[in-house]
Amino acid sequence: MTRVPYPITGYGVCAGLGRDTDTVVAALHRGERGLRQVPFEVPFEAVTGTLPGPLPPLPPELAHRESRTSRLAALGYASIHEPVSRAIHRWGAHRVGVVLGTSTGGIDRTEWAHFEWFGAGASEPPVLPAEYRYFDQHPFHAFADVVAALSGATGPRYVVSTACSSSAKVFASARRLLDLGLADAVLVGGVDGLCNTTVRGFHSLGVMASEPCRPFGADRPGMNVGEAAAYLLLERRPDAGERPRAWLRGVGETSDAFHMSSPDPEGDGARRAMEAALAEAGIPAAEVGYVNAHGTGTKYNDAAESKAIERLFGQEVHVVSTKAYTGHTLGACGALEAIFSIVALEQGWIPAGVGSHPLDEEVRLNIPERVVERPVRFALSNAFAFGGNNASLLFERGDR
Amino acid sequence: MSATIHVTGFGLWSPGIPSVATYLARGRDDAAERPACEIVQSRMKRATSLLTQMSVEVMTQAARDAGYRLDEVATIFGSTHGEIQIAVEQMQMMQEGSGVVSPARFKNSVHNTAAGLFSISAGNRGFNTAIAAGEHTFAMSLLEAWTLLTSGEQARVLVSIAEEPLPPPIARCSEHVALAVALALSTDPAGSRATLSCPAPGEGKRRHVPPAFRGHSAEGALGLLDAIDAGEEGSFALDDGWLVELGPRPDRVASP
């Protein structure tokens, strides 16, 4: 069944590559990598996609919402405030929804409170820092409430948290709200700040690199965790005479039913998600000019994903994992990489596959060594997660 | 939106209340300390939280109550607080010994752990998701279910709302008890026990739920279960701010 395409009328981002959209996109084009030291102490070597410079505090009226994820959410939101304000003016605040993804929310805040309490002797009954406010800061909704408050949007608001596919799945949720007339515009996106839980957690799984990651590369050392806030605005239709940034043409959502933290080695669930996205647009795989791979840089993800991409697209299509630039931004990567896919459509270039060469012998994909300047009409972006949760997004250039 | 969906089954688990029947009878079964979760292999169950076990249990109960195949139905797992016990356990590990966390715990620490475990245990390769929305988690999970069904994307959906208690040292920050409730929903009137409208902003009627469950994320789901059991109709509160219109079973609607 082909689906109604919806225009994407704005996007905004901050990540390891930069603090605003233009800086991030320019760094991607130049082939710079936004990988740095972990911004806190951990008992091992690690490189992370850390936001450059300090994160500005929340405005005073939102200060009780303090967390790294909320600060990141607010900084990234500044890059999309203008189109969101225009949408609120156009449709009414109650007709603008907010559907965001995250994997950890404000967990760093409870880490901090717990460390303070434990470090001071683990008093009983527990005395936690006075500035710690669990319900306002830690749970998933907290950063989404910050974004809603900054934007003024009062339509349906919720968080999808399916680990690393979270902010790809939000596109499907938003599209249903538009299809059924429950909203006329939806701000979608994903936010995840760096925290001990994820940096130490991925280290414990033995998949974290102590050097910059090399997605699809020979002897790749594993992944780098990253942080980002990435947003896109979907609307019912573009403003009269306005060309949208891109169109959402398809979403595929599947499960592996295989393992909690490892992909099906044949990439079957991944392939079905990509096929479902193509089917919704009613286009053959050959029409796609760029695949923004999930490409975490781990042995197993990249092996399974490259099989799935090759089986569906062959060996010609350009494939890049932008996680080599930003690290794996977990709950933010779906939206972040949707933006990178749309940049390829809008500006007519595909980023260099930095770090990937020399390629793994088993990887038979066309991963460019340098930026490829060429027009692209369709781009597909993958996001796969713990629990075997897969999502693929298909975008078409704005001048369709 | 005027489209309605059908409620075709329920699941419920709380310590001492292992089934919908026990809950509706306001009974207790003190032997029910952990959910049976019989679809999950014991090897996989071991490293999972009470939250995940309760969620998988009530989804399975609701699917069986409705006669749905476990390997085909779409699932939506709602929880405001998520895997909070594993999260805090990991924080403890970070400050003891080598400061490294347990891989078995970490891979079961994500909000969609129950969704993944259900998918793997049931061999379900289709749609699942995990939702959170603060005080509105049940309402937004039900909204996601309603949109999946009325958009034509799915014919049968299970939606759950579940919380486990917060552990020390944050236990006092929200003193809710362990409780999970699931609904089986369908576009097909076969087996319908009631109809639901699209969740909408507004104030609906509140059912009196047992005092231990007042203010719980699942209070609205318990209210629906009680109201449907009592054959009631009208606007019912999902929480402070969202309501749903509960309609009668199709076979009880008077013909014109």
CATH of the domain at A239: 3.40.47.10
Segment 206-265 of chain A within 8 Å of chain B by CB: 206, 253-261
Does the residue A113 lie in any domain?
A: no
Chain A closest CA to B25's CA: distance in Å?
A: 33
pLDDT of residue B3: 87
pLDDT classification of B2: cutoffs 50, 70, 90: low
Does the residue A197 lie in any domain?
A: yes
Segment 357-386 of chain A within 8 Å of chain B by CB: 385-386
- Mean pLDDT by groups of 10 residues along chain A of 400 residues: 93 98 98 96 96 97 98 98 98 98 98 97 96 98 98 98 98 98 98 98 97 98 98 96 96 95 94 98 98 98 98 98 98 98 98 98 98 98 96 96
Q: Quote the ipTM score.
A: 0.98
pTM of the prediction? 0.98
- Give the whole-angstrom CA distance, residue A359 versus residue A337: 21
Active site residues of A: 164, 294, 328
- Give the whole-angstrom CA distance, residue A383 versus residue A164: 6
Q: Do B133 and A176 touch (CB under 8 A)?
A: no
pLDDT of residue B256: 45
Both ends of chain A: CA-CA distance in Å?
A: 19
pLDDT of residue B40: 97
- Give the whole-angstrom CA distance, residue B14 versus residue B32: 8
Size of interface A-B (CB pairs under 8 A): 208
Does the residue A111 lie in any domain?
A: no
Segment 297-356 of chain A within 8 Å of chain B by CB: none
Percent of chain B with pLDDT over 70: 98
pLDDT classification of B249: cutoffs 50, 70, 90: confident
Does A63 contact B at CB distance below 8 Å? Answer: no
Does the residue A198 lie in any domain?
A: yes
With beta carbons under 8 A apart, name residues in chain B contacting A119.
95
- Backbone phi, then psi, for A235, in 5-degree steps? -130, 165
Domains in chain B: boundaries: 5-189
The total number of structural domains in chain A stands at 1
Give me the domain span that covers residue A371. 6-105+140-397
Kindly give the interhelix angle for B84-94 and A196-204, rounded to the nearest 10 degrees: 80
Q: CATH for B5-189, among 3.30.1330.20, 2.60.40.10, 3.40.50.720, 3.40.47.10?
A: 3.40.47.10
Chain A closest CA to B230's CA: distance in Å?
A: 30
Chain B closest CA to A201's CA: distance in Å?
A: 6
A326 Cβ contact list (under 8 Å, min separation 6): A15, A16, A17, A34, A49, A226, A228, A333, A336
Using an 8 Å Cβ cutoff, are B14 and B218 in contact?
Answer: no
pLDDT of residue B1: 45
- Give the whole-angstrom CA distance, residue A367 versus residue A352: 8
Does the residue A1 lie in any domain?
A: no
Q: Which of A134, A144, A196 sits opposite B94 (nearest CB)?
A: A196
- Give the whole-angstrom CA distance, residue A247 versus residue A244: 7
A249-282 burial: b if 16+ Cβ within 10 Å, else e: bbbbbbbbbbbbbbbbeebbbbbbbbbbbbebbe
Does the residue A116 lie in any domain?
A: no
pLDDT at B12 > cutoff 80: yes
Q: Which of A177, A257, A386 sits opposite B112 (nearest CB)?
A: A386
Chain A closest CA to B86's CA: distance in Å?
A: 10
pLDDT of residue B254: 57
E-only strand ranges, chain B: 5-13, 74-78, 128-132, 156-163, 179-186, 194-196, 200-201, 234-237, 242-247
- Give the whole-angstrom CA distance, residue A26 versus residue A311: 33
Nearest to A381 by CA among A344, A326, A327: A344
Q: Do B126 and A255 touch (CB under 8 A)?
A: yes
- In chain A, the residue whose alpha carbon lies closest to the alpha carbon of B100 is A200
pLDDT of residue A2: 85
pLDDT at B97 > cutoff 90: no
Does the residue A125 lie in any domain?
A: no
